[in-house]
Amino acid sequence: MIGSVCLTALLTPFFAGIGESTGPAATAPAAEHRGRSARLARGVVINWPKGQVEIDAEVVLREGVLELLACAPGTKEHESILRVRARPFDVYKALGLLGLPDGNPPYFEAETQRVVPPRGTPVDCVVRYERDGREHEHDALEWLQPRDGSRDLRGAGWYYVGSAPPPGARFGADVYGTVVTVVPFGSALVLLAREGEIEPPGAATTRPGSARELDDAAHDSAGDEWTLTPRGPRIPPERTPVTLILRPRAPRVRAWIDRFGRIRLGSRTVTADDLAAAVHQSRASRPNAGVTLSMDALALPSDVERTVARLLAAGIPAAELEREWIDADSLPPHDASAAAELLVHQFELHRSLWNDAAVLFRAAADRLEARRRALEEWQSQFKGLLHGGGSDAARRRNRS
């Protein structure tokens, strides 16, 4: 939709009312150029085939307390793993060209005296770099860890919360360098948040401007359990060039492998080939769509590896394949049939045990009944012998 309008009309809203010189308009890729990558501005490339923004950056921190993942030059390098080589406003424009709608970071609303929660679009935040002669590409979450180890990062994700500044104001991320943050700064462009703590993008009653509606020095922190530090061994040495990749998060195909090695896709039992076909169908419209395998804790590793091998052989990239083990006493997510099957299985097991006990009881009762009848027959014969023997003795006495 965006590619169908002219460049001037497209970029006018970005520059209107900004109280600083934005320089000449960058040559944005037109619709006919969307089959290749194009540089929008210094340090910012739009990769149209993959539907992602690629930002030049470098490692500047491997230990300490973090408030950001990536900052702009000369701002927050003392609390950020990466320093980008791009202007945050150019990153904002690139994400807008990809079609991501404006959100809003958390901000303080003077009229209601409350902090308005953030709104945003889920995005992938990926780092790509070379280390030990090999190229690595993975979610930036792998570089983060809680400081006190009291919780992991499951349920956390990245959200695009950037929004255009109000007329006459500067772009907040340009002022404070808050490109990708792990705490809820009021000027954040991309924000790390827990699942359920951020709302879908929509019209906000107030636009955060260049001033610190939520002070960067006194942000709405969640406490020490959310204080993050770099996972040093996973991070390459300082000054290592890194490509920071931002893209809309593709819906994932989720499958379940139960303890019997069966693959469930929704409510259906499918083969590994069926699952690979479903992933390819999803990737046809979203090239970065992947698959998540949720596995019963009692599933055989051989069954899991066989499924994974089939997906890889079918062309599913290893980087888009996630695996998670589910506790033995939990049920497959979004699979009510599994609960019914478990109950039926337990019922059948109990019924089988009851039937076995009933059979044993009937066999024992039959044996007791047979013995009772044998005793009655023996008793009858014994009485007959006794009665018959007494009559003969009386007849012998009478003859004599």
Residue pLDDT, tens place only, 142-170: 999 888 765 567 778 899 999 888 888 89
Token duo for residue 13: 């809203």
Amino acid at the residue 145: Q
Q: How large is the average pLDDT for residues 218-233?
A: 65
Q: Which residues pair with 144 in a beta bridge?
A: 230
pLDDT value at residue 49: 87
Q: Are residues 209 and 288 in the same domain?
A: no
Q: Tell whether 176 and 311 lie within a shared domain.
A: no
pLDDT the model gives residue 392: 56
Q: What is the mean pLDDT of residues 213-239?
A: 68
Of residues 58 and 250, the one with the higher pLDDT is 58
Confidence band, pLDDT 50/70/90 cuts, at residue 36: confident
Question: In this model, does residue 223 exceed pLDDT 60?
Answer: no
How far is residue 175's CA from residue 20's CA, in Å, rounded to a whole number?
A: 11
How confident is the prediction for the chain on average, in pLDDT?
78
SS3 call for 80 = strand
Q: Going by C-beta distance under 8 Å and a sequence separation of 6 or more, which residues neighbour residue 380?
A: none
Position 370 in a domain: no
Nearest to 253 by CA among 316, 199, 297: 316
The residue range of the domain holding 325 is 253-334
Q: Buried (b) or exposed (e) across 53-79, using 16+ Cβ within 10 A?
A: bbbbbbbbbbeeebbbbbbbeebbbeb
Last residue of a domain, one of 214, 248, 282: 248
Q: What is the pLDDT of residue 358?
A: 82
The verdict on 186 and 202 lying in the same domain is yes
Check whether 6 has a pLDDT greater than 60: no
pLDDT band at 343 (very low <50, low <70, confident <90, very high): low
Higher pLDDT among residues 215 and 108, named by residue: 108
Q: In 10 A of CB 239, how many CB atoms?
A: 9
Number of domains in the chain: 2
342 is a domain residue? no
Q: How far is the C-alpha of 277 from the C-alpha of 348, rounded, in Å?
A: 35
CA-based nearest residue to 210, from 189, 187, 190 = 187
Judgement on whether residues 218 and 294 belong to the same structural domain of the protein: no
- pLDDT value for 14: 37
Residue spans of alpha helices (H) in 247-295? 272-285
Same domain, yes or no, for 231 and 178?
A: yes
How high is the pLDDT of residue 77? 95
Q: Is 205 left (phi over 0), alpha (psi -120 to 50) or beta?
A: alpha
Q: Is residue 341 part of a domain?
A: no
Average pLDDT rounded to a whole number, residues 214-227: 49
Average pLDDT value for residue range 81-101? 95
Asked if residue 231 and residue 289 are part of one domain, the reply reads no
> Are 288 and 143 contained in the same domain?
no
Count of CB atoms situated within 10 Å of the CB of 237: 8
Angle of helix 301-313 relative to helix 272-285, nearest 10 degrees, comes to 40
Is residue 225 assigned to a domain?
yes
Which stretch of 112-116, 254-258, 271-275, 332-336 has the lowest confidence by average pLDDT? 332-336
d(CA 86, CA 73): 8
Domain boundary pick from 199, 215, 248:
248
Which residues have C-beta within 8 Å of that of residue 396, sequence separation ≥ 6? Answer: none
Domain boundary among 203, 232, 248: 248
Mean pLDDT value across residues 102-127 = 85
Determine, yes or no, domain membership for 133.
yes
More confident residue, 38 or 10: 38
CATH number, domain of 315, equals 3.30.420
pLDDT grade for 73, boundaries at 50, 70 and 90: very high
More confident residue, 366 or 243: 243
Is the domain of 147 the same as that of 31? yes
- Is residue 149 one of the residues assigned to a domain? yes
The pLDDT-based confidence of 285 (bands split at 50, 70, 90) is low
Q: Does the pLDDT at position 397 exceed 80?
A: no
- Which pLDDT band, with edges at 50, 70 and 90, does 342 fall under? low
| Predicted local distance difference test score (pLDDT) of residue 214 | 41
pLDDT at 121 over 70: yes
The proportion of the chain whose per-residue pLDDT surpasses 90, expressed as a percent, equals: 30
> Does residue 171 sit in the same domain as residue 230?
yes
pLDDT in tens, 306-329: 999 988 888 888 877 888 777 654
- CA angle, corner 303, sides to 299 and 305, nearest 5? 115
SS3 category, 89: helix
Q: Are residues 182 and 238 in the same domain?
A: yes
The residue-averaged pLDDT of 188-197 equals: 87
Residues 263 and 243 in one domain: no
Q: Specify the DSSP element, H or E, that contains 303.
A: helix 301-313
**49 and 193 share one domain:** yes
- Where does the pLDDT of residue 74 fall: very low under 50, low under 70, confident under 90, or very high at 90 and above? very high
Lowest mean pLDDT among 147-151, 169-173, 210-214, 299-303: 210-214
The answer on pLDDT for 222 being more than 70 is no
Asked whether residue 300 is assigned to any structural domain, the reply reads yes
Q: Does 352 fall in a domain?
A: no
